[in-house]
Amino acid sequence: MLNILVTGASKGIGRKIAEELKTCGNLFVTGRNKDALSSIGAKDYCICDIANTPEILGDFIVKNNINVLVNNAGEYIYGAIDKMTIEEIQKIHKTNLIAPAYLISRAVPYMKEQKFGRIINIGSISGVMGEANASLYSSSKAGLMGLTKALALELAEFNITVNTINPGWVETNLGNDSIEQSEFTKEEILDCIPQKRFVTPDEIAKLAKYLISDDARGITGQGINLCAGLSVGI
């Protein structure tokens, strides 16, 4: 039986992934919005701020024998590096990299015992290509890709796969908010995307569903760019 945990499931990409995986096994979700989490209809949920109290979610993982972990929760910040405070630097890396690594460490013992596990990290094309004035976000997501590759090697013998999905621009509130923070209009951004469109959360959710299936058991250590061609060039 799959015991699935999706982090950052209150809205956007995380909520769509949770809804897609709901029929695949026992679904557990986490986030900071109780009303949003309870409306998903998961088996159980955990209210948690993973940047500050990840141990709460770590205990939840152990209690529920999680063997499919989707690290989706993330933070984005836009601005020049010389304008960033130590608090901002720490927060984005705690949320985007340190917390996922910690949650994986709590889930892996049960996965090893069962000789089965699926770990999906939601990265970003910014971690693959870099994004000017989003260096903290880019570095945290690049670190997630390094974590994915190393863990895929470390855990392969236990039938545990580890992969990262790297979305480009996604049609979500966070995506639209990040446009407002940037110096570019939505039209200018669309003009740089080969397919001239934003990726939808549904596309990411369906890819996640495939990656946890037995059909994808040979895929591990990969960063899959789901970006409408943005990573290829312009």
Q: So which residues are the catalytic ones?
A: 137
Q: Kindly provide the residue ranges of all beta strands, DSSP E only, lying in 13-111, ordered along the sequence.
A: 26-31, 44-47, 68-71
| CA atoms within 13 A of residue 99's CA, in its CB half-sphere | 31
Under 8 Å between Cβ of 222 and 163: yes
Ramachandran class of 164: left when φ > 0, alpha when ψ lies in -120 to 50, beta otherwise:
beta
| 183 Cβ contact list (under 8 Å, min separation 6) | 133
